Structure 1
Amino acid sequence: MSQIIQAIYRNAQLNPNQIALSGLDAENNATSVTYRQLIDKLENTANSIKQLGGRCIALRAENSIDWAIVDLAAMMVEMPLVPIPTFFSNQQIEHVLTSTGADILVGDWNEQFDHQDSVCHLEGLPAYRIYAEPCGALLEGTVKVTFTSGSTGTPKGVCLSEDNLFRVSSSLVTALDVDVARHLVLLPLSTLLENVTGVYVPLILGVTSMIFPGEHVGLTGSSKFNAQYFAQALAQYQPNSLVLTPALLMALIQVVKHNPQLGEPLRFVAVGGARVAAEIMETAHQLGIPAYEGYGLSESASVVSLNAPNRVKHGSCGVALEHIEVKVAEDKELLIKGNIALGYLNEPFNDEWLATGDLVNIDPDGFIHIHGRKKNQIITSYGRNVSPEWIESQAQVFIPAAKLLVVGEAQHSLSAIVEPSDYIVERIHLLNGSLPDYARIQRLILTSNLATHTHWFTKNGRPRRDVIETWASELISGRNTNTDHQIIELY
């Protein structure tokens, strides 16, 4: 039996009446499930999955208690499950289904089926049994396939074993070392990070995971945010732990500045997904927000390193968790060993060390400092290598509300594409004052609305650097004569 499921059984024996899951079910009914009740629900759902007789489950649904139950029941019967983000395009969904051969579809498939077509319900989620050709791409031992967004928009499937998931979860339990009774799920559970930290870790600890649809707590899709709903959720549910992206951390900082009481119940706030400037983390701690930056990747079942209350260094993403070994290659790329995924679909990993694609240095105390993606490095005409992510994260300190993109491949100097705002030139000068000369912004490209350039970003909002660099190069050279953009030379 899965070690995660075994931990749930142990907690059901020790504290049967302790609340395991609290929140809304798939039909938006408020509910709470004790550990004893959770075991019953998992066993019933597992039996229903067995009766469907499929090979692989594709789960596409908003966050709910039922989402977590289906996920755990599939693990109980060792059937591979593929979480699909609700913001994936139809093309991406088709790619996921074809590449995995999923033949049980659970959740929101209204565009493919009428609700009456469901063969059963797994908890409150409709399930559809379809015919799909066996694709043979799932690696032996796979219990979860998590899809990256892909830099080109085509998601790539990572095959994870139950041991992968348990090792990272149990290692996080050890690293936390704080008194947490209630975790509030904010990110989509289809995100591996929240799946691990919002479901597996609390249930191993024997505490409560509070699960609501994203809109209920202020986050819709991949990036739409409502600060009022977020603040209301903090006030109503008083969570002890959260997992946030850097943008959500900055929102939390503003909320706590206006209402310090909302931060008082927090004991641990993990921050990941992108590099965070040290000044932002220091501001959070000055406000009493226990924010700790971490780092991870799907190919290692999510979290690799983490700062913690007893071992923290702002500006780093912490030290490697106990189940992971790390080292730095000659070209500064981070290599990891110890909890590597089974591989990509139909592409097993065979090397002892996994090349992460991230450029780092590890200081004498073991803290990992991420500088950016190896493939995203800008090489200026003077031969200087610069990571755009480093400068973009530092910009959060001086222009926190602005989206800023750094370009400069083969150029004499760096440029920043940014939306117009009050005192933008003065703020960029302040940013430059915090950077070495070779990393300073020499030119501003003001564009009225970055969001309209949809082809610049992947479906989950990651910049397509090559596309943006080409556009900026043409604009600077005069080959693009579009007058919707203003160029300001700073020096």
Structure 2
Amino acid sequence: MREVVEPPLVRAPSGRSLADMVFANAEEAPDEVVLNRKAGGRWHDVTAARFRDEVVALAKGLVASGVGLGDRVGLLSRNRYEWTLFDYALWAVGAIPVPIYATSSAEQIRWILADAGAVACVVESEEHERAAAARPDLLIWRLDAGAVDALVAAGRGVDTAEVHRRRAAVTPADPATIIYTSGTTGRPKGCVLTHGNFYAEVDNAVELLYPVFRSVSKDPAATLLFLPLAHVFGRMVQVACVRARVRMGHAPSLKQQDLLPDLATFRPTFVLGVPYLFEKVFNVARATAERMGRESSFDRAVEIAVRYGEALERQAHGGPGLRLRLAHRLYDKLVYARIRAAFGGKVRYAISGGSPLGRRLALFYAGAGIVVYEGYGLTETTAAATVNPPLAPRFGTVGRPLPGTAVRIADDGEIWIKGGQVFAGYWNDETTTGEVLHDGWFATGDVGQLDDDGYLTITGRKKELLVTSGGKNVAPAVLEDRVRAHPLVSQCLVVGDQRPYVAALITLDAEAVRHWLTQRGRPADTPLADLVDDPDLLAELQQAVDEANAAVSRAESIRRFRVLPVDFTEDAGFLTPSLKPKREVIGEAFRAEIESLYSG
């Protein structure tokens, strides 16, 4: 199949500005809890009416400070309640929020603010303030220094009618935000997303993924946002939650020691994540079972869960049989409940994006009671362009087009997308915009295939395709994702462009390595640098490489690999905030290691 079109599930939205959602919620359900705010170690309810009032009060402060229609304002902070509050207050006055990752370098912060022509910037910390203050004409509001209270006080003399006048002036075609792509190479580009883009995206997503965004059990729908709101994925889900009145909280950190307590106290019914998160939870669970001497029981539970997931996938043909249901019930108490407990105990659904999630892992989670709806999208498509439908998931694919969306496979295998969520263009860059937009179709740069039923599978990225000296095209993502799924592996980067064969750099998961050493009676504090040539470790990793190679031809397979004594991390500048490897940066930093793979 070369093209598939999915008709929309909803009519054109009635709203003009995204801020309209806040006012509609307060009018229709003023006492409904729509957000939780963490203070003093506890979660505090915020009703629809209260959130509207706080948005209006802050919006008046923005007016008093001189923020006008169409002005760009930076948002530089980790996830927190004030992030969402500022987002909607800025929309209420017709301004354009420009999110910036809290982990951005000072150079990146300054460049984005300058390129966007921002008149002001909301920052979280003193460090952020120093970076943004390089522009003396920039208004800066620091959250940790009482920015919200100061702005609310400044706006007390502003007539509320002025906020409503500005909100009414916004049209669906107006820019809602400029999101700068994190960029694995070069300078990030500013994607202009309109209010209409978001409405087209979230209205159809909420309607399609009704088990996620609607209360289908005794537990009202709720989610904890821990993926950065500066990323389009987190931002889209924020807007969808406000639209559907899903209770929402914020978690500032993805680190296990920070996130797990927040999940345990908030207890979401669904989460959004990237494959790395789901792999990590699975690997930690298996390591725990090994320490307890129950690895064989855990592996049996995995097999049962995978079979159960396969039965759910073919539900229309009868679903799980009696023996499978009985075995599943046993392991639900012993194993699966603990997996769900890692997410807070009430999670039944998850949305995964960013990179492919392995079919077997997706089946395991489905069998363990957490259905992961895998999707695919980009900043330019306001997040999801495809997603697995609830009534007919096909695990291992990224699903069918989101309702209201068309997907086409070009002659060279590139994925093209058309729909109401496709962006308006790049900020200050008409040339690049013209290169990727063709009569309403967005050329994604990704390569994929549509099956006979319209389900999409991603095979790689055009610019990342390796061409060996023998002329073989290799999509590295297929190999990297499979190697990375091994418990001992943190990251994998496949190399081989214009080389005689494919090779790989592998980094280790320090926690998993400590467990591996302990299980073998070896010192758990052995430095990673002492293990890069360890025969036993290399044998373990060779198994991961062999499993990855089983998915490709001999010419595409990894012939050699090198274990590095350091990890690829965002802090070190090797990963984007969405945890994608920066290939050129890594290639330059480890040039000698790559050369060694092709010598001797």
Q: Same fold (TM over 0.5)?
A: yes
My pick for the range that moved more, 356-365 or 46-55, is 46-55
Q: Does 1:313 align with 2:394?
A: yes
Report matched runs for 1:10-409 at 5 Å. 10-24=24-38, 30-54=43-67, 55-108=71-124, 109-111=128-130, 112=132, 123=148, 141-178=174-211, 179-180=214-215, 181-197=221-237, 199-214=238-253, 219=254, 225-226=255-256, 228-254=257-283, 259-262=338-341, 264-338=345-419, 339-348=421-430, 349=433, 351-352=438-439, 353-399=441-487, 401-409=489-497
Task: Provide closer, same or farther for how the CA distance between residues 300 and 451 of structure 1 changes in structure 2, counting only shifts above 3 A.
Answer: closer
For 2:424, the aligned partner's letter is L
For 1:193, the aligned partner's letter is F
Per the TM alignment, residue 79 of structure 1 is displaced from its structure 2 partner at its CA by 0.6
For 2:452, the aligned partner's letter is P
For 1:464, the aligned partner's letter is K
TM-score, scaled relative to structure 1: 0.84
Question: 1:255 & 1:230 partners in 2: Cα distance?
Answer: 15
Deviations along 1:169-214, one digit per CA (max 9) or x if unpaired, are 11110121114411111111111211110x2111111221112322
Question: 1:154 & 1:243 partners in 2: Cα distance?
Answer: 27
Per the TM alignment, residue 43 of structure 1 is displaced from its structure 2 partner at its CA by 1.4
Q: Does 1:436 align with 2:553?
A: yes
Per the TM alignment, residue 13 of structure 1 is displaced from its structure 2 partner at its CA by 2.5
TM-score, scaled relative to structure 2: 0.70
Question: 2:188 & 2:486 partners in 1: Cα distance?
Answer: 34
Task: Provide closer, same or farther for how the CA distance between residues 312 and 366 of structure 1 changes in structure 2, counting only shifts above 3 A.
Answer: same
Question: 1:475 & 1:370 partners in 2: Cα distance?
Answer: 29
Q: Does the 8 Å contact 1:60/1:106 carry over to 2?
A: yes
Question: 2:501 & 2:174 partners in 1: Cα distance?
Answer: 50
Per the TM alignment, residue 150 of structure 1 is displaced from its structure 2 partner at its CA by 1.7
Question: 2:140 & 2:379 partners in 1: Cα distance?
Answer: 34
Q: Does the 8 Å contact 2:490/2:567 carry over to 1?
A: no
Per the TM alignment, residue 389 of structure 1 is displaced from its structure 2 partner at its CA by 0.7
In structure 2, the residue matched to 1:135 is none
Q: Does the 8 Å contact 2:279/2:485 carry over to 1?
A: no
Question: 1:202 & 1:477 partners in 2: Cα distance?
Answer: 49
Task: Provide closer, same or farther for how the CA distance between residues 331 and 2 of structure 1 changes in structure 2, counting only shifts above 3 A.
Answer: same
Unpaired segments of 5 or more residues in structure 2?
1-14, 155-172, 216-220, 289-337, 508-531
Q: Does the 8 Å contact 2:482/2:544 carry over to 1?
A: no
Q: Does the 8 Å contact 2:194/2:424 carry over to 1?
A: yes
Task: Provide closer, same or farther for how the CA distance between residues 476 and 234 of structure 1 changes in structure 2, counting only shifts above 3 A.
Answer: closer
Q: Does the 8 Å contact 1:84/1:93 carry over to 2?
A: yes
Q: Does the 8 Å contact 1:407/1:472 carry over to 2?
A: no
Question: 2:594 & 2:20 partners in 1: Cα distance?
Answer: 60
Find the residue that maps to 1:4 and give its secondary structure: coil
Q: Which structure shows the bigger proportion of residues in helix conformation?
A: 2
Task: Provide closer, same or farther for how the CA distance between residues 275 and 301 of structure 1 changes in structure 2, counting only shifts above 3 A.
Answer: same
Larger radius of gyration: 2
Question: 1:164 & 1:213 partners in 2: Cα distance?
Answer: 27
For 1:288, the aligned partner's letter is G
Q: Does the 8 Å contact 1:152/1:458 carry over to 2?
A: no
Q: Does the 8 Å contact 1:256/1:287 carry over to 2?
A: no
Unpaired segments of 5 or more residues in structure 1?
130-139, 220-224, 479-485
Per the TM alignment, residue 75 of structure 1 is displaced from its structure 2 partner at its CA by 1.1
In structure 2, the residue matched to 1:134 is none
Per the TM alignment, residue 62 of structure 1 is displaced from its structure 2 partner at its CA by 2.1
Per the TM alignment, residue 236 of structure 1 is displaced from its structure 2 partner at its CA by 1.7
My pick for the range that moved more, 262-271 or 365-374, is 262-271
- Cα RMSD, aligned residues only: 3.1
Question: 2:456 & 2:22 partners in 1: Cα distance?
Answer: 33
Aligned length: 458
Calculate percent identity across the aligned residue pairs. 25
Question: 2:182 & 2:140 partners in 1: Cα distance?
Answer: 30
